[in-house]
Amino acid sequence: MQNVPLIKWIKLAVASIIFILWVVWVGNFWLLLLYPLIFDNYITRKIPWDFWKKTKDGKKPSAIVEWTDALVFALIAVYMINIFLFQNYKIPTSSLEKSLLVGDHLFVSKVSYGPRMPNTPIAFPLVQNTFPIINTKSYTSWPHWDYKRLKGFGDVKRDDIVVFNFPAGDTVPFRQTNPDYYNLMMEAGKSQLMRNQELMPKQPFNSDWERNHFLMNIGRKVIANDPNTFGEVLYRPVDRRDNYVKRCVAIPGDVFEIRSNQIYINGEAVTNPEDIQHNYQITTDGTVLNDRFFERMGISKADQQGIPPNYYLPLSKDKAEQVKGMSFIKSIEIEEEKPNGSGFQVFPFSSDYNWSRDNFGPLKMPEAGETVELNMKNLVIYERIITAYEGNKLEVKNNQIYINGELTSSYTFKMNYYFMLGDNRHKSADSRYWGFVPEDHIVGKPILVWLSLDTDKGFPANIRWDRFFKIVHN
């Protein structure tokens, strides 16, 4: 070691500082047992780290070996960056327009809320759950690590735009991922029941929870017996569920409510995001709205609905005022979905909660350590928290609730929960339809648009130059 160049000692010092800080951040000091490997790599070189690059005659390794070495290093580096620092995310739908646009490519910060240790540590980087084309899993189910989040710069705040794993994406029919599996089972069960009334039980349901499970059991069989339509039903761990991006409108402890399209938190009306959109019913004097109109209003082809002279279009308040002033517009009115008492419009899909997309709640956000009373009415709200998100076994016998085999009338939450909505309020599949987002599903915070491509246009007109390196504001 006396002949070791100074530069190697300097490199070791830098690597040692980075490694020790990382160990402290992760909080697992057993990892310090790996330090001798770092020391050997820089100083002693007892381990032949580059053995696979050496040739028998001592010549320079082939180009294939050099490229493979570079590729393996790059993949490992990308994997570590994706876990601990940031990852790329592409906006696939218009649910956040005009705050974020379809085709925006985002840098998502993992350190804003603290990176999660992966549930599935052995996975191919840059692929969320499925290899394209060959349609196979991009990860191994073993080993599986429990949820742990490292220290970050802060917590999720109200009005933050957040990337998270889709909570209802734990079970997925491979050929039909939208709507989610649970809504799909409900709809399939209702359709089957309409076709075959003999399936209806003779005794009335004791609760909406019982009704929902009855319908889902029928729907589950329909889906399982039709693989050509639905495909294989797959289970995905938390970190391998599809990534969604929405705005956090309620944090743990908040009482959330929507009244006539206006959000209230703890009884107080909130200030809406500047670019929030709602659907408007528009009637023209017979004039057909053309591409110039849609481009001027910033309405993508996917959001253009209606048959002249009647249209149903998402607009911000300012854009709606512009349309209202156009000479060929006869009427323009914001849409508002009223509760119809069916119990099937929105989460929690119960007639005991007569809510709709635009008139929802009040609903309190669960908070870690909080205990709530459980009964057959509110079980529809908390069931997935108890079972899918917090890993308990729930049973109902004679209208009595058992958790992990014990009769109970209350439950204490282990995690915090959030409510997420899209800014394009009438064009968003969000918490109004699948409920709470658990803290262990939070991925990170978008901080920058680094590329934006208009999916309605061809190259090079599709490049939105004005959105390059645009900071994502709440």
Looking at 95, 99, 109, 112, which residue is catalytic? Answer: 95
CA 362 distance to own-chain centroid = 23
Q: Pairing mode, if any, of strands 277-284 and 329-334?
A: antiparallel
Q: Outline where 196-324 has alpha helix (H).
A: 208-224, 227-230, 291-297, 317-324
Tokens 């058992």 — which residue?
Answer: 402
CA distance 84 to 103: 25
State both tokens at 347.
């989460």
Type of residue found at 463: I
Is residue 95 annotated as part of the catalytic site, yes or no? yes
Query: Are 110 and 83 spatial neighbours (Cβ–Cβ below 8 Å)?
Result: yes
Q: Which long-range contacts (CB under 8 A, 24 or more apart) does 296-300 make?
A: 297/322, 297/323, 298/97, 298/98, 300/94, 300/97, 300/102, 300/455, 300/456
Give yes or no for a cis peptide into 362 (omega within 30° of 0): yes
Looking at 246, 319, 414, 427, which residue is catalytic? Answer: 246
Is residue 246 annotated as part of the catalytic site, yes or no? yes
Report the residue count for the chain. 474
Residue among 126, 125, 116, 124 nearest 140 (CA): 124
> What strands lie across the sheet with 305-307, from one edge to the other?
305-307, 310-316, 277-284, 329-334
Please spell the DSSP secondary structure of 63-93, one letter per residue: HHHHHHHHHHHHHHHHHHHHHHTEEEEE--S
Angle at the Cα of 346 (from 345 to 347), degrees rounded to 5? 145
DSSP 199: G
CA distance 277 to 427: 9
Please provide residue 222's backbone torsions phi and psi, each rounded to the nearest 5 degrees.
-60, -45
Please provide residue 45's backbone torsions phi and psi, each rounded to the nearest 5 degrees.
55, 40
Query: Are 312 and 282 spatial neighbours (Cβ–Cβ below 8 Å)?
Result: yes
- Residues 28-44 as b or e (16 or more Cβ within 10 Å = b): eeeeeeeeeeeeebbee
**Residues identified as active-site:** 95, 246
